[in-house]
Structure 1
Amino acid sequence: MPTGTPNTNLSEFSPEPSIEPLENLPDEAEVKEPRIAPSELTGMLEALLFVCDAPASPHQFAQALGHPEAEILAGLADLQGLYKQTGRGLRLQERNGRYSLVTAPQAAGVIEAFLNLDLSSHLSAPALEALAIVAYRQPVTKSQVEAVRGVDCGGVLRTLLQRGLIEEVGRLDTVGRPILYGVTDFFMQHFGLENMQELPPLPSTDADTLWAATELAEE
């Protein structure tokens, strides 16, 4: 048991700072000083990424850690570099300005075997073609995908939904309000993409065809 006098002034003791829940933190302008030392920034970012149940923005990390967003972005870049240079099994994934922690592409086979999954079974050529249309032209409707492929795509879109490679992202504001589809974070992880800018560019003729067909279907 610790010893001390009954008149000990508890205000003299300073507990170690803790990281507050993201939703309870003040605006960035209200943060007076860093909650952690600069040398600890990368490690604390990694900890927050580990416990996040959804991708988080640099602003959220800045609120939690008391550092400017520019320093947060630099810390995220340092963390990504560390993962790549040391051959770690983790990667940072950025999508729409939000970041999450995912497994590295080279770990996919080991993970699938360990969890007894069958995620790497081959997609059919029609499914891959539909997936490419969604990835490059998202958000798209079923009719827009069909305008490019020239055939009914209901079956392949259901397959892609079941595989978790695409998802419903909204409704098109037109007659019937058709569903809009986009690719998922799992799509990016499955194909080893850190962000959508890493999609290989389409040949100009294919890109022109894709854009023309989907725009025609919108009319």
Structure 2
Amino acid sequence: MNVNDINQIEMNEASTKDRYFSIIESLLFVSGEPLAYKEIASIINCSENYTKDLLEEFRKKYELKDRGLTLININDEYMFVTKSENSDYIQKLLKTNSRQGLSKAALETLAIIVYRQPITRIEIDEIRGVKSDKAIQTLMEKELIKEAGRKKVPGRPIMYATTDEFLKHFGLENLNQMPLLESFIDYDKESTSIEEETTMSVEE
């Protein structure tokens, strides 16, 4: 096999991949929901392993800075989400404010569930120091958390955990991408220190 033959094969492979990328992009756009790579493999008539390799290569293309979308993988299901750095402009289009989506109580409750799941309502209340019934209800309605069985203690209280919708909402592929809890603790200490300094300056 000469050099020209090798180049022709490489060109054909590149052309084939580009065609698959085009098809997959259309499928994900029309679906609007996460698609399992096995389902995509069935549609494009390719092996599951080859399809997964295609998707991972396709995902890298969307990591480029000039793209407005990114392709994420949640439990072997792929979907497009907008890049977080463009959220301010998207909010202007939708005329919404992300801070209005969840109250401070709901965000506090969600953070506790994220890092302590599965966890019961009573345990959440003990950490927050106040009741969390309404916050939990809000998070359940938004499908950011779910019931995750019952704890094997007297009364068998319901335990709560995050959902795939939570990952999708915050643009995460898995919980391992969450910042370390220590970073929040350090930030909280720093914020408290700044507030104290500001208060002292005002009093002076």
**Which residue of 39, 47, 57 maps to 1:60?**
39
Counterpart CA distance in 1 for 2:45 and 2:116 is: 38
Change (3 A) 1:167 1:123: closer
Task: Please state how far the C-alpha of 1:113 moved relative to its aligned partner.
Answer: 1.0
Q: So what's the TM-score if we normalise by structure 1?
A: 0.61
The Cα offsets for residues 138-163 of structure 1, whole Å up to 9 and x where unpaired, read as: 4444234224334311132244446x
Stretches of structure 2 that go unaligned for 5 or more consecutive residues are 1-14, 186-204
Count the aligned residue pairs: 168
Task: Please state how far the C-alpha of 1:114 moved relative to its aligned partner.
Answer: 0.7
Counterpart CA distance in 2 for 1:165 and 1:105 is: 20
Counterpart CA distance in 1 for 2:158 and 2:97 is: 31
Q: Give RMSD over aligned pairs.
A: 3.2
For residues 182-201 of structure 1, what are the structure 2 equivalents within 5 Å? 182-183=162-163, 185=165, 187-201=166-180
Change (3 A) 1:54 1:176: farther
- Classify the secondary structure of the residue corresponding to 1:85: coil
For residues 59-208 of structure 1, what are the structure 2 equivalents within 5 Å? 59-121=38-100, 125-161=104-140, 164=142, 166-169=144-147, 171-172=149-150, 178=158, 180-183=160-163, 185=165, 187-203=166-182
Task: Please state how far the C-alpha of 1:84 moved relative to its aligned partner.
Answer: 1.9
Identity of aligned residues (%): 28
- Classify the secondary structure of the residue corresponding to 2:181: coil
Stretches of structure 1 that go unaligned for 5 or more consecutive residues are 1-35, 207-219
